[in-house]
Structure 1
Amino acid sequence: MNKAFVFFALTLSFAILGQACQTPQPSQVVEDSANTYFPLSAFVQSQVSALRDNGSTKVAKKVIFDGKVERQKLQIKDWEKELGVFMKADINKAGLRNSYQRIDSVTSQGAYKIYRALEPQLKVRELCVLQNLNGEVVDIRADVRQQNALYSEKQTLVLHCKPDKQGRARLASYRIESIQDIALKAPNTFVLEADLLD
């Protein structure tokens, strides 16, 4: 197994694939009056704080690489590092204002907010957030692309939440899927999935 991929997998650790974020109908393009987008980094940080307070949460992980599957159960010591890849997909930054088109849609599943990149150089191509009727997050999906002359990577990041006893969104699972394509080499695909255990 390539050392870079092993390091990446051990650093990231991950979990369950949420639904693909297709634009639900009916939908409408919305101008965000505050020129801000969903605060992904702040949301993930709130989950990190809740997990720290809990202290005893264990995770069942599955890593799939090159057709091989590895499974393990463990307790995460540094949740901020564990979920750092999701915080890096935050688009709610001053430098990204007016860089995304926002599409709002309400369906039987809840309310979708979909942010689509308007410029080809933006790494986060799409961010999709599904919230229930109480405004609590159910699913978050981010599609991330990085590319240069010798290397390209496509990442799909998924967070899935369930309500706690107070009805607040709490992380239940997460998943990262990555396809790396390096010049003169066959593409590498791996998936890291993680389920939080009660």
Structure 2
Amino acid sequence: MRFLSITFLLFSITACDYTNQVSEELNQEPYYDLTGLVERQLAHLNSLRPSVEIMATINGQQEVETMQKDSADWVETLKLFSEASINRPVLQGSYQVKDSTDQNGLNIRIYRAQQPADVEIPYLAVYYQDTLQNVRKIETVFLEKNALYRTERRMEMQLSSSEQGPLLTKYQSSGTQKMIFRDSVHYRVEATLKYPS
């Protein structure tokens, strides 16, 4: 458990209609709502209570463990993805948005920072089927640096279709953490969720 816990350290109209439309547009977030997705997944995880197999590798040492997480554990685990939300007022207008498709026919919306060195999240990609509500995969990069340390995380969530909507099935995080006066730590965490049948 200690080994795994280390890995967790490391988003002509009538006047009335026009007013409603403007109000809705003002309430819409400019980029993909990653925080909202995480909140919906936390609700599913709390009600469905899947087991999770975690394979963690730190500097070449690997450990595999299957566990049942409680709600506090899931909040801490998915906090990494919430922190990668780009829907912050300070980031408005910071990203170029591009749409494409992958080899499997999924649509991809890519948010790429215009000045990557100036933001913590230089890249976010949302893979979806038909509409952004039917998300199938999230890919993102998170960078953080200060006088004491530098962290780079590459993260991914995979989701499947369910009656409740998109449902988290896998997640992974890999990267490097370099603290002042210490060697770099390279890690990778891959987790697979298994829901009760």
Q: Which residue of 2 aligns with 1:118?
A: 114
**TM-score, with length taken from structure 1:** 0.78
Give me the TM-score of the superposition, normalised by structure 2: 0.79
User: Contact 1:11–1:82 at 8 Å: present in 2 too?
Assistant: no
Distance 2:191 2:46 in 1: 17
Higher helix share: 2
Give unmatched runs, 5+ long, in structure 2.
11-25
Structural mapping, 1:119-198, within 5 Å: 119=115, 120-135=117-132, 136-164=134-162, 166=163, 168-198=165-195
Give the conservation status (yes or no) of the 8 Å contact 1:141–1:159: yes
d(CA) in 2 for partners of 1:100, 1:158: 19
Task: Tell me by how many angstroms 1:184 deviates.
Answer: 4.7
Number of the residue aligned with 1:9: 7
Counterpart amino acid of residue 32 in structure 2: F
Deviates more, 1:59-68 or 1:105-114: 105-114
Coordinate RMSD, CA, aligned = 2.3
SS at match of 1:98: coil
| 1:155-182, Cα deviation, whole Å (9 max, x unpaired) | 0011000111x37210001001121123
Identity %: 24
Partner of 1:17: none
> Aligned partners of 2:129 and 2:29: how far apart in 1?
23
- 1:98 is aligned to 2:98: no
List aligned pairs for 1:13-32, cutoff 5 A: none
The CA distance in 2 between the partners of 1:147 and 1:128, in whole Å, is 22
Moved more, 123-132 or 77-86: 77-86
User: Where does structure 1 lack aligned partners over 5 or more consecutive residues?
Assistant: 13-32
Aligned to 1:21: none
Q: Which has the higher strand share?
A: 1
Alignment of 1:44-63 (within 5 A): 44-54=38-48, 56-63=49-56
Structure 1 residues 35 and 101: alpha-carbon distance in aligned structure 2, compared to 1, 3 A threshold: farther
Task: Tell me how many residue pairs correspond in the alignment.
Answer: 173
